[in-house]
Chain A
Amino acid sequence: MSLSSFSYHCISNNPHLRGRVAHLELIDGNALDVLTASRDRIHCGWRLISSPFYGNFKPDQQPYRTIVLYEDRSADMASVDLESLKLIEDAMMSYGNSRALRLPDDFPRRIDMDFRFVDFALMEDTFRECGILGSHAERVLGR
């Protein structure tokens, strides 16, 4: 049980994070589902730590989104962080307007594993800084 008044959380649909990231809420869905769940938490007062637009992949190119948020339990009243709200809403609009959203099964396994790994790699430093990085991940070529 944590005694601290704040904690970091990760919401993602990337199964690669299981066992590697603490405080993880794994969503069974697409990127927009991840953004929506994050928005719901932001409405309850959580703040965005990372940009929802990270990575240079477009919404219709790769299936995974990972968001890191901060919860301040000591705050008396949940007040919404407007910057976080604007960012997540912008991201939801961008993903919502996209031609198509990818699902993990859209790609051959090898490529899907590559996407999972790059998604993790892009967020790794953020996990580490927030103290929720459980273990490093490796992507070994030829498998």
Chain B
Amino acid sequence: MRLELIKAHVKGVAWGCKTELLKDGTLQVSKEDLLSQIEDHEFFKSVDADMARPGENTRIVPVKDVIEPRCKAEGEGEVFPGLISDVTSVGSGKTFVLDGAAVVTCGRIVGFQEGIIDMSGKGAEYTPFSGTMNVVLVFEPKNGIEAHAYEKACRIAGLKAAVYIAKSVYEAGAQADEVKVYDMPAFAESMNAYPGLPKVAYLYMLQTQGLLHDTYVYGIDAKKILPTIIHPNETMDGAIVSGNCVSACDKNSTYMHQNNPVIRSLYDRHGKDVNFVGVIITNENVTLADKRRSSSYAVKIARMLGVDGLIISEEGFGNPDADLIMNCRAAERAGIKTTLITDEYAGRDGASQSLADAASEADAVVSAGNANMMIDLPKMEKIIGFTDYVDIIAGGFAGSLKPDGSIEVELQAITGSTCELGFNKLGAETW
């Protein structure tokens, strides 16, 4: 299956009368059109939109999700199948991408939600979204709305906004600045290609525990699936969407699923050091029987594929650590070499045990950093979102408010800071 990502580079963002990409690379968005696309009187008391650019003295909080504007240019289906588009399988043809732009949603489903994106200052070093041109949507729920329904409404609205922006820009005639081709043939061909190279697959663990801890695959709650194979290109068309909000640091935003760095890195090395043959998705449920079933099943698929090596990424802490270790152990015992990507909760002093589980088989681990590390965030001039976050965070949830208005907070509260897909350069070492 072959997919071309047609990327238009976004260098700025501004409101204007028509949604299009200007010649200088500024993404111009019609606020009126955007809001009319996503307003929903059944769920939202109000929807507002704002913008945040790299380097600005702006803080966005609390962040629910981040989505990259994309839409199909050619080929079957539309992005975010099963949620805002038809359920047809995607991942082939051409997809238009506004590279450098992001839609950020602030919909507070529960009072304790975190998720900070600082566009400048110390905090900006730790979130990838301080580097994107952000169109921020702020939702307020109607009174009497049920939590699950509201979460879904916010999620859908974010996806609609992303597709609307991409589609409008594409239809207005945007030029491609860059084209990236991702091609992975059928197994009959891929299994026989590169006989000298080890066959490698990616075991992609998805957070699936319940409200604010869910992931959707073609619109289906991944809690309910058996592990299965998915073509890596499908993720680029939004087949996997985030319903996860906890914790801000290691929850995989939809943006991360669309831009999965493991998939990108494996494609980069394909045909050179490895024969990248496929992706297996699996879940991280609460009941022990589900965990054992999924682990056994996922590793069985890897064995059926006959892979030599497996990269395994997890999402979350504690409960998922058990799945990560279970998967690692099962794969290693089946003779498949593994490398894991995880983050750590080693305490503020870095002295606690970083993972909730361990195994001697897990001898190749990449760390996305210690999420308990404390960081000082300066007072910001502009806040987009909900300003009472300071009370939540200052209430000792993850930090404290200093007299000069700066906040001392754990990395845990910063969106995407310890992304366990290995998106960032952050890591840790033992001192």
Q: Which residues of A contact B (CB under 8 A)?
A: 48-51, 53-58, 61-62, 68, 83, 87, 90-91, 94, 97, 99, 106-108, 110-111, 114-115, 117-118, 121-126, 129, 138-143
Contact = CB atoms under 8 A, between A and B. Distances in A.
A39 to B, nearest CB: 16
Nearest to A111: B111
Contacts of A123: 210, 286
A135 B143 CA distance: 23
Interface in B215-236: 223
A55 B356 contact: no
B147 A122 contact: no
The interface residues of chain A, by DSSP majority, are classed as mixed
Nearest to A53: B318
B145 interface: yes
B318 A49 contact: no
Given A50-B288, A53-B319, A99-B348, A125 B210 contact: yes
Given A58-B317, A107-B112, A122-B211, 4 more contacts: A53-B321, A68-B287, A121-B148, A142-B145
The interface residues of chain B, by DSSP majority, are classed as loop
Given A94-B356, A111-B112, A55 B213 contact: yes
A140 B110 contact: no
Nearest to B323: A51
Contact of A122 (B209, B289, B357): B209
B369 to A, nearest CB: 15
B173 to A, nearest CB: 42
A110 B353 CA distance: 33
A61 B248 CA distance: 13
A118 B246 CA distance: 11
A61 B397 contact: yes
Nearest to A115: B112
A16 B211 CA distance: 16
Contacts of A106: 396
B41 to A, nearest CB: 15
A51 B147 contact: no
Q: What is the interface residue range for chain B against chain A?
A: 35 or more
Contacts of B144: 140-142
Interface of B: 109-112, 141-148, 150, 207, 209-213, 223, 246-247, 250-251, 286-289, 291, 316-319, 321-322, 345, 347-348, 352-353, 356-357, 392, 395-398, 412
A121 B112 CA distance: 16
B112 to A, nearest CB: 5
24 contacts: A49-B287, A49-B289, A50-B288, A51-B319, A53-B319, A54-B286, A55-B213, A55-B318, A57-B246, A58-B318, A83-B288, A91-B356, A107-B112, A110-B111, A111-B110, A111-B111, A111-B112, A111-B392, A117-B110, A117-B211, A118-B110, A122-B211, A142-B141, A142-B144
Contact of A56 (B251, B289, B396): B251
Contact of B112 (A49, A97, A114, A129): A114
Contacts of B142: 142
B212 to A, nearest CB: 6
B211 A121 contact: yes
A51 B345 CA distance: 18
A48 B288 CA distance: 8
Nearest to B398: A61
Contact of A54 (B141, B145, B209, B352): B209
Nearest to B209: A122
Nearest to B212: A118
Which 4 residue pairs across A and B have the least CB separation, nearest first? A53-B318, A142-B143, A121-B211, A122-B210
B211 A90 contact: no
